[in-house]
Chains A and B, each alone.
Chain A
Amino acid sequence: MSADFLYGIEVVINGLMAGVMYALVALGFVLIFKASGIFNFAQGVMALFAALTLVGIMEGQIPFAHLINATFGTEIHHFGWHVPALLAIAMTVGVMVLFAWAVQRFLFRHLVGQEPIILFMATIGLAYFLEGVGDLMWGSDIKTLALGLPQGGARWIEDATAGLGGDDFYGFFIDKLDIVATGVAIVLVTGLILFSQYTKHGRAMRAVADDHQAALSVGISLNFIWILVWSLAGFVALVAGIMWGAKSGVQFSLSLIALKALPVLMLGGFTSIPGAIVGGLIIGVGEKLFEYLIGPMVGGATENWFAYVLALLFLVFRPQGLFGEKIIERV
């Protein structure tokens, strides 16, 4: 096989992996949108906030240290202990549950029955708020996420495949972190599907997604379900934050990964968990292949816009997204 062809395959494989990373971000959007019809603009900031909290807890940082120091003239920064990773993750999940409760209690409880655009707007406020609070709590420097996730190309895959295509081919490159991310995504999606199919709360969640009022009338607590959904989204945000933060360190730009999830959502449909995964894979492969084949002819850096053009092409033929609920229009 020629090296060019094999490299094409390599690009596809890596596109799939990148797609999984996008899908991880998109999942959080889908969870909330499906259950409550809220397009959660704050999802990216939630990923940042969760990752910041995780690092902060692990490093034993004192929250709001800078603010306290500036107000009281003290010089405190650290508690002086380190929390083991698993415990820190558990504590971060706790923080995200608390956050979900607060969001529900102080914001969305007052906005029940409002139009989608208004709920969207509330999440804009939430995004501003959370961004400011994240900076105030943990500071705005770049933090290293020391979870010990494997990184770097998987050598054995490279060595095993290097012989396929002659001297110009160096074997398939696959990032170990991407393999981990894929595993995590599979576990996460399976878990979410099992949860929503076979548990009481999961079924209640689906009932709410189908019809709020009907769910309410059979005795499901909307309040509880929404806290649950926001907590789940917070958890997914944490996972996305960890995976992306492992590459770049935990920093402000993590909140921008939401932009990578938007074309995935548009393509896969806002309301479908499998849609987020499949959409992610299509976008990942599509943009990487385009950059590989066409990119050099037009000067490169095409990925950002091509993802949207790709989503647009799909939507022209399926206006509700690949897996979205069919739009039925009645007058």
Chain B
Amino acid sequence: MKMKTLSTLALTGALTAGMAAADLVIPDLSYRTGPYAAGGTPFSDGYQDYFNLLNARDGGIGGEEVRILECETGYNTEKGVECYEATKGEGALIYQPLSTGITYQLIPKATVDEIPIHTMGYGRTSAANGEVFNWVFNYPANYWDAASVMINYLTEQNGGSLEGKTIALLYHNSAYGKEPIRTLETLSADMGFELTQIAVDHPGQEQKSQWLQIRRERPDYVLMWGWGVMNQVAVQEAANINYPMDQFIGNWWAGAEHDVTPAGAAADGYLSLNMNRIGDLPVFGEIETMVHEAGNAAGDGSNIGSVLYTRGMYAAMLAAEAIAKAQEIHGVSDVTAAMVRDGMEALEITSARMDELGMANIGPEFSVSCENHGGSGLGIVQQWNASSGTWTPLTDYIEPDNAVIDPLISEDSMAFAAENNIEPGCL
């Protein structure tokens, strides 16, 4: 049965592909303007540079040139919709929407249009249940993994128990910021730590009340789900009240260079999660020589190696690997969006393959299946060194507590399935 649907899909896919242009179209919904431009620019640079490298070095993927369609969203949902509609007709293979709002928009739309979405460490967490969200992938990790990884890290730091500790969650008062609450509440009940939730309203330039509260209550740890200007202000305010920076952990969207540099030396020691490793990877040299020196850099070329650049490049690598996988499964080089979805579902990232690509250990080893679109959920903790201006990884990949997260994912995805009359199952 499964084979049959697959082959009909492939057939219809092949028919439509014959009409589209004969190259691999990858839209890049970037935001280089607006309040979050500082985060969007390096990510998009990394994303595009890697595809440009593939074009320059290997002549694309499997012999097919990659064509990038950049579209500026400004992190605005309506513009994101415009971008999606503008690019999908060109034969877009995979979307990386890069914003919670746009992701929620695209989940139903792309499912109907049969184009896979990769929301890497953002978007809808319960999309990890591939039986409900056939077209959405959020490997290698999601927010609930992140919350659990943070707690596991802290447990280890405290010799195996968080009993009686107090942990404050400082979160952006939006759908994004509220993501970890359920996980943390469950974990708090399980592990006996006390959880305080502190909301910061958008945009978060004024956080005096919140940090006075933290100063009064002196929680043992502060976890932050921040975004945009909230991150810079929070780091500064934490320094102001002399909160120990190594007990202050941001999630992976609150742990880039621009989040800490405005606070200067005071930010030294700040911790954050990351879903990928950073460092001096050999692939950067190749990008430097084959893309930047050839004048094809996506931005001004200054972001290479930064946290979000690396993450963007990692995202591009995962997309490229999925496309290669799709080419392998279907035996054609000019794949369609539906085939890429199959490739994503069969994706397997091994450390041998990462070595080969010149990005050893950039991410954990993981494989994707129909049931699990979420990857392994591993994350590392990294620390900011203000004097050298670099992030250094503190830990190896830490496992999340899947026994806690899986029921939550299944609960939320089943609620979505019920609300939208989706019959869970594999394609």
A212 at the interface (CB under 8 A from B): no
Q: Which residues 25-42 in B have Cβ within 8 Å of A in the complex? A: 32-35, 37-38, 41
> Residues of A contacting B239 with CB < 8 Å?
151-152
Write the chain B residue with the least CB distance to A244.
B205
Write the chain B residue with the least CB distance to A155.
B242
Q: Are B209 and A260 in contact (CB under 8 A)?
A: no
Question: With A69-B300, A253-B228 as given contacts, are A295 and B37 in contact (CB-CB < 8 Å)?
Answer: no
Q: Once the chains are docked, how many angstroms separate the CA of A301 from the CA of B218?
A: 19
Point out residues on B near A: beta carbons under 8 Å: 32-35, 37-38, 41, 173, 197-201, 203, 205-206, 208-210, 212-213, 215-216, 218, 228-229, 232-233, 236-237, 239-242, 258, 261-262, 264, 266, 295, 300, 302
Q: Are B199 and A248 in contact (CB under 8 A)?
A: no
Q: Are A253 and B35 in contact (CB under 8 A)?
A: yes
Write the chain B residue with the least CB distance to A3.
B216
Q: Are A252 and B35 in contact (CB under 8 A)?
A: yes
Q: Are A173 and B33 in contact (CB under 8 A)?
A: no
Q: Are A135 and B33 in contact (CB under 8 A)?
A: yes
Q: Are A257 and B33 in contact (CB under 8 A)?
A: no
Q: Once the chains are docked, how many angstroms separate the CA of A295 from the CA of B198?
A: 10
Question: With A77-B300, A249-B261 as given contacts, are A256 and B205 in contact (CB-CB < 8 Å)?
Answer: yes
Q: Are A249 and B262 in contact (CB under 8 A)?
A: yes
> Residues of B contacting A252 with CB < 8 Å?
34-35, 37
> Residues of B contacting A190 with CB < 8 Å?
none
> Residues of B contacting A73 with CB < 8 Å?
295
> Residues of A contacting B242 with CB < 8 Å?
152-153
> Residues of B contacting A146 with CB < 8 Å?
264
A309 at the interface (CB under 8 A from B): no
Known: A170-B216, A248-B233, A301-B201. 18 other contacts (CB 8 A): A7-B212, A14-B212, A69-B300, A77-B300, A145-B262, A146-B264, A151-B266, A152-B240, A153-B241, A247-B262, A248-B229, A249-B232, A249-B258, A253-B203, A260-B206, A292-B213, A300-B197, A301-B199
Q: Once the chains are docked, how many angstroms separate the CA of A16 from the CA of B409?
A: 45
A329 at the interface (CB under 8 A from B): no
Q: Are B262 and A144 in contact (CB under 8 A)?
A: yes
| A145-159 Cβ-contact flags toward B at 8 Å (1 or 0) | 110000111000000
A80 at the interface (CB under 8 A from B): no
Write the chain B residue with the least CB distance to A69.
B300
Tell me, rounded to whole Å, the shortest Cβ–Cβ distance linking B98 to chain A: 16
Q: Are A303 and B209 in contact (CB under 8 A)?
A: yes
Q: Are A247 and B233 in contact (CB under 8 A)?
A: yes
Write the chain A residue with the least CB distance to B201.
A301
> Residues of A contacting B212 with CB < 8 Å?
7, 10-11, 14, 173, 292
A59 at the interface (CB under 8 A from B): no
Q: Once the chains are docked, how many angstroms separate the CA of A253 from the CA of B215?
A: 26
Complex partner residue of B240 from A151, A292, A301, A304, CB under 8 angstroms: A151
> Residues of A contacting B229 with CB < 8 Å?
248, 251, 253
Tell me, rounded to whole Å, the shortest Cβ–Cβ distance linking B177 to chain A: 10
Q: Are A173 and B262 in contact (CB under 8 A)?
A: no
A299 at the interface (CB under 8 A from B): yes
Complex partner residue of B208 from A14, A69, A300, CB under 8 angstroms: A14
Q: Are A304 and B201 in contact (CB under 8 A)?
A: yes
Tell me, rounded to whole Å, the shortest Cβ–Cβ distance linking B411 to chain A: 22
Pairs A–B under 8 Å by Cβ, sample size 27:
A140-B34, A140-B41, A141-B258, A142-B232, A142-B261, A144-B262, A151-B236, A151-B240, A153-B240, A170-B218, A173-B240, A247-B205, A247-B262, A248-B232, A251-B35, A253-B203, A256-B205, A260-B206, A288-B208, A292-B209, A292-B212, A300-B173, A300-B198, A301-B173, A301-B200, A303-B206, A303-B209
Tell me, rounded to whole Å, the shortest Cβ–Cβ distance linking A281 to chain B: 14
| A230-273 Cβ-contact flags toward B at 8 Å (1 or 0) | 00000000000000100111011100110010000000000000
CB-based A-B contact count at 8 angstroms: 116
> Residues of B contacting A304 with CB < 8 Å?
201
Tell me, rounded to whole Å, the shortest Cβ–Cβ distance linking A317 to chain B: 26
Q: Which residues 278-314 in A have Cβ within 8 Å of B in the complex? A: 287-288, 291-292, 295, 299-301, 303-304
Question: With A142-B258, A173-B215 as given contacts, are A251 and B209 in contact (CB-CB < 8 Å)?
Answer: no
Q: Which residues 153-174 in A have Cβ within 8 Å of B in the complex? A: 153, 170, 173
Q: Once the chains are docked, how many angstroms separate the CA of A150 from the CA of B209?
A: 20
A18 at the interface (CB under 8 A from B): yes
Tell me, rounded to whole Å, the shortest Cβ–Cβ distance linking A309 to chain B: 14
Q: Once the chains are docked, how many angstroms separate the CA of A13 from the CA of B275?
A: 41
Q: Once the chains are docked, how many angstroms separate the CA of A304 from the CA of B209?
A: 12
Q: Are B209 and A295 in contact (CB under 8 A)?
A: yes
Q: Once the chains are docked, how many angstroms separate the CA of A257 from the CA of B229?
A: 12
Q: Are B208 and A18 in contact (CB under 8 A)?
A: yes
Q: Once the chains are docked, how many angstroms separate the CA of A152 from the CA of B232?
A: 14
> Residues of B contacting A260 with CB < 8 Å?
205-206
Tell me, rounded to whole Å, the shortest Cβ–Cβ distance linking A49 to chain B: 15
Q: Once the chains are docked, how many angstroms separate the CA of A133 from the CA of B228?
A: 21
Q: Once the chains are docked, how many angstroms separate the CA of A142 from the CA of B261?
A: 9
> Residues of B contacting A201 with CB < 8 Å?
none
Question: With A140-B33, A140-B37 as given contacts, are A11 and B209 in contact (CB-CB < 8 Å)?
Answer: yes
Q: Once the chains are docked, how many angstroms separate the CA of A18 from the CA of B207?
A: 10
> Residues of B contacting A140 with CB < 8 Å?
32-34, 37-38, 41
Write the chain B residue with the least CB distance to A289.
B209
Tell me, rounded to whole Å, the shortest Cβ–Cβ distance linking B235 to chain A: 10
> Residues of B contacting A142 with CB < 8 Å?
38, 232, 258, 261-262
> Residues of A contacting B232 with CB < 8 Å?
142, 247-249, 251
Write the chain B residue with the least CB distance to A304.
B201
Question: With A140-B38, A247-B205 as given contacts, are A300 and B199 in contact (CB-CB < 8 Å)?
Answer: yes
Q: Which residues 82-106 in A have Cβ within 8 Å of B in the complex? A: none
Tell me, rounded to whole Å, the shortest Cβ–Cβ distance linking B386 to chain A: 12
Complex partner residue of B266 from A18, A152, A173, A175, CB under 8 angstroms: A152
> Residues of B contacting A21 with CB < 8 Å?
206
Q: Once the chains are docked, how many angstroms separate the CA of A252 from the CA of B31?
A: 13
Q: Are A7 and B264 in contact (CB under 8 A)?
A: no
